[in-house]
Amino acid sequence: MSKFSKILIANRGEIAVRVIRACRELGIKAVAVYSEADKTAMHVREADEAHPIGPAPAAESYLRQDVLVETAVKAGCGAIHPGYGFLAENAGFAELCGKSGLVFIGSSSQSIRLLGDKMASRQCMQRAGVPVIPGCDKPGLSDADLAREAEAIGYPVLVKAAAGGGGKGMRVVHDPADFQKSLEAARREAKAAFGNETVFLERFLIEPRHVEFQIFGDAFGHRIHLCERECSIQRRHQKIIEETPSPALDPELRARMGEAAVQVAAAADYYNAGTVEFLLDKSRKFYFLEVNTRIQVEHPITEAVIGVDLVVEQIRVAMGQELSWSQSDIKQRGHAVECRLYAEDAANGFLPAAGPVLFLQEPLGPGLRFDSGVQTGDQVSVFYDPIIAKLVAFGQSREVAVQRSINALQQTAILGLTTNREFLMAVLQHPEFQAGNLHIGFLSQHLPDWKPAPPVDDELILSLTLAGLAGKYNSNSNNSSLNGEPRIPDPWQSVGAWQICGGGSR
């Protein structure tokens, strides 16, 4: 297959910026799309060209498959990269791309469809000999039958939606007396979220770790894994801190889990980048959970310890080239930690806190990477995921990587938004985290009532003064940005890289 001259990125924010930079590495022109809310966004400014696709709500823009494909064709693109979220795991979109003469940079629609159905994928892995969590995935059972199956599995039991993810359509049942109402509630939520009320049962594991393996395949039947990522630090089933290697794995367990991940890829005839997710219990038994059929948010930590560019490899494989690496080439070196920096109120149920980015100062130092989709003067919109950036710290040991993460968060300066920065530091500084004693209930067990420390007086005065100054510049500015929209000028250019709202120890 010939090289693409242009790729349309069917996404926004930091992942769109990440794909744009991968295109640049390959000498490919990157085509951005944007909603009305994003017409001055960073990914629009960084792309070689950008096209409007509709109003701010995602359902009227970034989820419009027909508009995205039509835009790609008109722009002369050879492929579409879906990023993650939105349409990245939509089998119908992958099929539509193919029918329109576009390459979908991801796995096949058949693999996406199979692995998007948790019951079907679970059954597929059982046939392939991959360990799955004990449970019941028989179709067509009555409520009474399911109740009997729950008794046989043993309580606590998990009622789980067959479609979707993100914790929707899931209920943990500890008492048989609560089973029926939990079953009905899970079905209602699954129907509302995914249009499919089908559920199945699994044994509920007590305090397991969430360990995933990066997999990659090409069109020549080569399939490998690129080792693991520990993703146990989660809030509402959403990861916020990830690391690699996992503190729980030794070489023998890593080899067994990696072999199982490749078995999963083979069983699903998997192609391009993906992630096999496992739960690891206290007895060090691991169980297949699901496959994310896309590049993961946390892919940079794998890039840091393996020394690869996963997005560039996605594009190469989509062009019909063989994998750049064999399994024997994959070696872990050092340790990496990723912290997801969100515009959210961690002390108030992690509620999103959209608004203007009055000032953003990235941290500087050895081993740091800051993947962001916003800059000073941009807006974190109420319409989309409120992620600001992914802060990645690499070191020769876990201790070094964790300390670099803490230092980098302390140096990260953000005005105009409430963020989870201090909460992330609290997690990283917790003795149990530093000891590597992690599980998916870590936050509710160790930091259930976390509140930020009050700012010291001089820091508060400085923050308020600078916020007011930024507002003054914003209101008086005649400067314009892309598409004629007003932008906040940068009054800090002559000030230097000094710290605001976060420097120093407390």
- The answer as to CATH 3.40.50.20 being correct for domain 6-105 is yes
For residue 455, the 8-state DSSP code is: P
CATH number of 134-203: 3.30.1490.20
The pLDDT, as a whole number, for residue 463 is 61
The pLDDT, as a whole number, for residue 454 is 82
Token output for 381 = 């919109």
Q: List the chain domain ranges.
A: 6-105, 134-203, 209-401+433-446
For the chain, the residue count is 506
Q: Which positions ≥6 away from 109 have C-beta within 8 Å?
A: 91, 92, 94, 95, 98
Q: State the DSSP string of 317-381.
A: HHTTPPPS--GGG----SEEEEEEEESEETTTTTEE--EE--EEE---STTEEEEES--TT-EE-
What 3-state DSSP class applies to 84?
Answer: coil
The pLDDT, as a whole number, for residue 11 is 98
Answer yes or no: are the C-beta atoms of 42 and 11 closer than 8 Å: no
Architecture of domain 209-401+433-446: 2-Layer Sandwich (3.30)
What whole-number distance in Å separates Cα of residue 76 and Cα of residue 4? 10
Residue 398 appears among annotated catalytic residues: no
Which position has the token pair 């769109």? 16
Query: Tens of pLDDT along the chain (506 residues)?
Result: 468 999 999 999 999 999 999 999 999 999 999 999 999 999 999 999 999 999 999 999 999 999 999 999 999 999 999 999 999 999 999 999 999 999 999 999 999 999 999 899 999 999 999 999 999 998 889 999 999 999 999 999 999 998 867 778 999 999 999 999 999 999 999 999 889 999 999 999 999 999 999 999 999 999 999 999 999 999 988 999 999 999 999 999 999 999 999 999 999 999 999 999 999 999 999 999 999 999 999 999 999 999 999 999 999 999 999 999 999 999 999 999 999 999 999 999 999 999 999 999 999 999 999 999 999 999 999 999 999 999 999 999 999 999 999 999 999 999 999 999 999 999 999 999 999 999 999 999 999 999 998 876 556 555 665 555 555 444 444 444 444 444 444 444 333 333 334 333 33
Catalytic residue (choose from 18, 235, 294, 316)? 294
Strand-strand pairing, 29-35 and 6-9? parallel
